[in-house]
């Protein structure tokens, strides 16, 4: 079978103005250092404001702290008959190790068709594409039956307290949308000869743990058999062996049902999926037997289990002192319906007397029924842009700002072209040498523009 990155697909028509605007806006944003912390999102908001001013689009900048800001713009319908649609994203980015980059992470360089810079994929590209779509809609003067809201938030990479959460708490009137488009979806999955764009309809929640081991200290010149450090070593080994109970959430069930319904799926694979869905307590081995690529199976494993991944370790003060305490921070990610305290208790029981375990954040996942006229519009828009590739909902293993706006039904979707670049992009998100091809940027912007026209044109 062909892979999703080599299969033949039609080249969609991209509006040249939309393409040029997307590139220009992304370069502008990439050249602003918005590493969180400290964020400095106000500088990005000011740059967006200058674009909106030039286009005559109204906006408000909401400051949450010195240097921390979000911007919300609105393209108003002359005679709105329905609630607005929200185009949302964030302008803060994660840190960089500059010496490991081939190019300036804040240079916004365009080289061989790629725009380089931190945030090129996560997610200044989508912000730029949404902004370009908004501007082109304004210039066209198309009649709308809904207002279009554009929001670029601060602080998503650190939880959203200074961004989406702050705006929703203090200025909910700015975000009074019925539906929204956000990050989290748009990649292509292939199963046998069937291809699908994945649309985020839910996400896991971050319930982080702090695990502490303790034992008697001592002079490092006299080794001890039982130390906080050796106990932490045992903790790490045990955590690597822990597996949560497999659970099928609504978005994952709908994803599997969508795969099984495709004409290009074999009867054998369709039967495997039906067995998974019909089993009261399905096992991971059943899912692992599906004919999917390794990365897709890793995604499914993460979105069918609660997970606990060690990320930061603290211990010791001096080279010649055996520490009395070592602390491990664990990134826990919980499925919709999982209880944070039950998760903590399960990890504590698994580790036994080796350590104490406490929660440092308490979030569970969120999942929404994707069925809606807006989801149907996403499907129809993609059918025009990429015939033959379906759209199915899924659960994302990471987190976004979507749960911070509980009054809006939000879908994560900004599609790229189905080429070999999709596999190339995966390690670049939060990694070195982050970059995006301008064809993918323009395609995502075209989708946003066409979706709004389809769903909101009067």
Question: Which domains occur in the chain, in start order?
Answer: 16-183+400-456 (3.40.630.10), 205-359 (3.30.70.360)
For residue 120, give every residue at least 6 positions away whose Cβ sits within 8 Å of its Cβ, in sequence order, or none.
26, 30, 428, 434, 435, 436
The reported pLDDT for the residue numbered 11 is 74
Task: Give 419-423's long-range contacts (Cβ < 8 A, gap of 24+).
Answer: 419/5, 420/5, 420/6, 421/5, 422/4, 422/5, 422/187, 422/188, 423/5, 423/295
CA–CA gap between residue 305 and residue 218 (Å, rounded): 40
Q: Rounded mean pLDDT of 279-308?
A: 96
CA–CA gap between residue 132 and residue 139 (Å, rounded): 11
- Whether the per-residue pLDDT at 3 is higher than 60: the answer is no
In which residue are the tokens 């919980």 written? 334
* Per-residue model confidence as pLDDT tens digits over 95-118: 999 999 999 999 999 999 999 999
* Per-residue model confidence as pLDDT tens digits over 11-42: 789 999 999 999 999 999 999 999 999 999 99
Handedness of CA 377, 381, 384, 388 (dihedral sign): negative
Q: Based on the number of CB atoms within 10 Å of its own CB, is 54 exposed (0-12), middle (13-18) or buried (19 or more)?
A: exposed
* Per-residue model confidence as pLDDT tens digits over 366-406: 987 889 999 999 999 999 999 999 999 999 999 999 999 99
Helices (H) and strands (E) in the chain, counts: 13, 20
**DSSP structure string for 302-326:** HTSS-EEEEEEEEE-SSTTEE-SEE
Top-confidence residue, 7 or 118: 118
- Per the prediction, the chain carries an average pLDDT of 96
CA–CA gap between residue 235 and residue 271 (Å, rounded): 40
Tokens of 339: 């209880």
Q: pTM to 2 decimals?
A: 0.92
- For residue 10, name the pLDDT band (cuts at 50, 70, 90): low
- Whether the per-residue pLDDT at 310 is higher than 50: the answer is yes
- Whether the per-residue pLDDT at 162 is higher than 50: the answer is yes
Mutual angle of helices 124-140 and 41-55, in 10-degree steps: 20
Query: Are the beta carbons of 182 and 366 closer than 8 angstroms?
Result: no
Half-sphere exposure of 41 (CA within 13 A, CB side): 32
């Amino acid at each position: 079978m062909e892979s999703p990155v080599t299969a033949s697909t039609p080249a969609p028509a991209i509006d040249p103005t939309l393409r040029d605007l997307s590139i220009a806006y992304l370069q502008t944003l990439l050249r602003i250092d918005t590493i969180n912390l400290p964020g400095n999102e106000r500088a990005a908001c000011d740059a967006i404001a200058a674009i909106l001013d030039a286009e005559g689009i109204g906006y408000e900048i909401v400051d949450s702290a010195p240097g921390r800001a979000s911007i919300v713009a609105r393209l108003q319908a002359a005679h709105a008959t329905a609630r607005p649609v929200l185009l949302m994203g964030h302008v803060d980015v994660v840190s960089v190790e500059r010496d490991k980059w081939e190019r300036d992470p804040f240079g916004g360089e365009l080289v061989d068709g790629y725009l380089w810079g931190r945030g090129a994929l996560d997610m200044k590209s989508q912000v730029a594409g949404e902004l370009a779509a908004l501007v082109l809609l304004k210039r066209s003067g198309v009649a709308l039956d809904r207002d279009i809201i554009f929001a670029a938030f601060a602080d998503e990479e650190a939880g959203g307290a200074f961004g989406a959460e702050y705006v929703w708490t203090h200025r909910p009137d700015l975000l009074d949308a019925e539906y929204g488009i956000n990050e989290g979806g748009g990649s292509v999955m292939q199963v046998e000869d069937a291809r699908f764009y994945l649309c985020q309809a839910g996400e896991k929640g971050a319930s982080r743990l702090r695990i502490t081991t303790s034992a008697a200290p001592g002079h490092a010149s006299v080794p001890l058999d039982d130390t906080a450090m050796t106990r932490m070593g045992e903790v790490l080994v045990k955590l690597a062996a822990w597996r949560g109970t497999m659970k099928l959430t609504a978005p994952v069930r709908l994803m599997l049902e969508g795969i099984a319904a495709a004409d290009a799926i074999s009867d054998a694979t369709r039967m495997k999926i039906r067995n998974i869905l019909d089993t009261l307590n399905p096992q991971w081995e059943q899912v692992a037997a599906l004919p999917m690529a390794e990365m897709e199976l890793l995604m499914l494993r993460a979105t069918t289990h609660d997970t606990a991944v060690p990320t930061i370790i603290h211990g010791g003060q001096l080279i010649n002192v055996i520490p009395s305490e070592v602390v491990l921070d664990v990134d826990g990610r919980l499925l919709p319906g999982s209880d944070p305290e039950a998760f903590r208790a399960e990890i504590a029981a698994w580790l036994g007397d080796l350590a104490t375990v406490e929660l440092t954040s308490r979030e569970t996942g969120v999942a929404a029924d994707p069925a809606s006229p807006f989801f149907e519009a996403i499907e129809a828009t993609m059918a025009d842009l990429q015939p033959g590739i379906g759209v199915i909902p899924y659960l994302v293993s990471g987190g976004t700002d979507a749960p911070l706006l509980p009054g809006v039904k939000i879908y994560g979707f900004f599609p790229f072209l189905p080429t070999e670049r999709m596999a190339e992009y995966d390690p670049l998100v939060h990694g070195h040498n982050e970059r995006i091809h301008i064809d993918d940027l323009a395609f995502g912007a075209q989708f946003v523009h066409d979706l709004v026209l389809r769903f909101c044109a009067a």
